[in-house]
Amino acid sequence: QENMLWGGRFTGGLDPLMVEYNESIYFDKALYKEDILGSIAFARANCKGGILTEAEFNKIEAGLREVMKEWDANKFTIIPGVDEDIHTANERRLGEIIGKDVAGKLHTGRSRNEQVACDMRMWLRDELRKIEGYLVSFLKVIAARAESEVDYVMPGYTHLQRAQPIRWSHWMLSYGLAFAGDLERLRETIKRVNKSPLGCGALAGNPFNIDRDMMAKELGFEGLLWNSMGGVADRDFVAETLQWSTMLMMHISRWSEDLILYSTAEFGFVRLADAYSTGSSLMPQKKNPDSLELLRGKSGRVFGRSAGFMMTLKGLASTYNKDLQESWEPMLDTVKSVSDSIRIAEGVLATLDTKPEKMKAALDPFMLATDIADYLVRKGVPFRETHHISGQVVALSENTNTPMDQLTFEQLKSVDARFEQDISDSFDYEKSVEMRSAKGGTSKESVLEQIKVLKQMLDA
């Protein structure tokens, strides 16, 4: 224990399982670069403040860049039991390269508590920006498809029962606009993630009046965390990312569920590309939508990470507690799940084969029952009455085993005398979707307008 960076007061050894239990190096090493850049910025600011001479700073920086090269080349050797985490590992190696006399000055006024928050915020900010790019790219595919396939009409469902005709593009955009909401929220989240904790110390701040703004600027942060205790205690930036991810994955999961259904032989509206399907080891005919099932499945994993992490946080006393080390794995795992999921979803949609004739074939004249009611409304009949009349037409169709659009004019007239010859125009799916021309509806013009709105939301 005396060998550890914090070993001064210790004489007894650590239980071997406790060593392993305590170590975070096996996952936090992923952020070696952020850790080193943070150290360089810290040393530079300490040099400006007169804590380090110019020569000492230069030595530290060169040494840290050496350490970075070793990580880059996969040549950094972790010493088990000594390199507890990425911060101690980098400092240990720096000491070996430039000598402990100078390396020992790097940590002046600094705590791992601010370092860990700094590393995670920098990394997460960069990853979330990548995710923002993936989301924009996915949304562009949605917009492009919605534009080129705007003429496909299909059944829209409530309660999974055929409800009213809609455009296929209207379905796509219903999710597209939800994902655009995720994009807006993500951009908000990035702003809060990208604040600098450097200079917060262990909890009470920096005793050498270090230039916090200078460090923040060098590391690409936009603004500071303004309370040193909050600055080291805060994992809201992780929690917010996880919560953001749950909403996104919930959308992806519902989208996937729709497409899984639409790809069955019973619906047949879409066919997945081979690139996103797999076969069965037993049944030669099978083509399974594994990509969509995994998207749906991963959502559960992300929800669990988010709920679990809130439980980690909820009882913690002020500032740093080791429980906070439990923020790493949910963060790393969720970022990977989300980054991969958006790109898989984009691939699925970009290569999806659509079957407009199948969509059309699934339309059923009963889906025009509302249009029949609306027809009589236009003749001045109150809607509550027209709803009832249209219901009687549905019943007549069922009882006589005649599709609703094939009932004779006389049969319709027998239900209500106010039906006129032009009722035949109402048995038209295309007309039905075009009737819904108010903003946000399923007419061609409304759908094209939605695409415009969506595209505007893509610009930051």
CB of 24 to ligand ARG, least distance (A): 4
| Terminal CA-CA length for the chain | 51
Distances (CA, A) of 304 to 66, 256, 314, 336: 39, 19, 16, 15
Known active-site residue 280? yes
Query: Is 113 among the residues that bind ligand ARG (CB under 6 A)?
Result: yes
Q: Please identify which of the residues 148, 280, 318, 437 carries the catalytic annotation.
A: 280
CB of 336 to ligand ARG, least distance (A): 18
Q: Quote helix, strand, coil % in the chain, to nearest 5.
A: 65, 5, 30
Structure tokens at 196: 């600098």
- Contacting ligand ARG within 124-163 (CB under 6 A): none
Known active-site residue 107? no
Per CB under 6 A, the list member of 31, 41, 324, 342 interacting with ligand ARG is: 324
Say which residues have a Cβ less than 8 Å from residue 312's Cβ, sequence separation at least 6. 323, 324, 326, 327
Query: Is 90 among the residues that bind ligand ARG (CB under 6 A)?
Result: no
Structure tokens at 251: 């959308």
CB of 28 to ligand ARG, least distance (A): 6
Closest to 140 measured CA to CA, from 176, 170, 171, 95: 176
CB of 238 to ligand ARG, least distance (A): 11
**Per CB under 6 A, which region of 112-120, 203-211, 382-390, 414-422 contacts ligand ARG?**
112-120
Query: Is 320 among the residues that bind ligand ARG (CB under 6 A)?
Result: yes
Closest to 258 measured CA to CA, from 174, 149, 342: 174
Return the DSSP state at 311: H
Q: Is the dihedral of CA 53, 194, 300, 272 positive or negative?
A: negative
Distance CA(445)–CA(170), nearest Å, equals 11
Query: Is 198 among the residues that bind ligand ARG (CB under 6 A)?
Result: no
Query: Is 325 among the residues that bind ligand ARG (CB under 6 A)?
Result: yes
Say which residues have a Cβ less than 8 Å from residue 46's Cβ, sequence separation at least 6. 52, 57, 105, 108, 109, 208, 210
Say which residues have a Cβ less than 8 Å from residue 205's Cβ, sequence separation at least 6. 199, 228
Return the DSSP state at 109: T
Which CB atom, from 112 or from 170, has the smaller least distance to ligand ARG?
112
Site string for ligand ARG, 271-310 (x = CB under 6 A): ----------------------------------------
**Per CB under 6 A, which region of 37-45, 173-181, 322-330, 341-349 contacts ligand ARG?**
322-330
CB of 67 to ligand ARG, least distance (A): 18
Residues 196 and 175 sit within 8 Å (Cβ to Cβ): no
- Contacting ligand ARG within 22-41 (CB under 6 A): 24, 28
Query: Is 112 among the residues that bind ligand ARG (CB under 6 A)?
Result: yes
Say which residues have a Cβ less than 8 Å from residue 95's Cβ, sequence separation at least 6. 103, 104
- Contacting ligand ARG within 367-426 (CB under 6 A): none
Per CB under 6 A, the list member of 116, 248, 295, 368 interacting with ligand ARG is: 116
Which CB atom, from 31 or from 369, has the smaller least distance to ligand ARG?
31
Give the number of residues in contact with ligand ARG, rule: CB under 6 A: 10
**Per CB under 6 A, which region of 100-108, 110-118, 138-146, 263-271 contacts ligand ARG?**
110-118
**Per CB under 6 A, which region of 10-18, 36-44, 323-331, 356-364 contacts ligand ARG?**
323-331
Residues 341 and 252 sit within 8 Å (Cβ to Cβ): yes
Query: Is 67 among the residues that bind ligand ARG (CB under 6 A)?
Result: no
The set of catalytic residues is: 159, 280
Where along the sequence are the contacts to ligand ARG (CB under 6 A)?
Answer: 24, 28, 85, 112-113, 116, 320, 324-325, 328
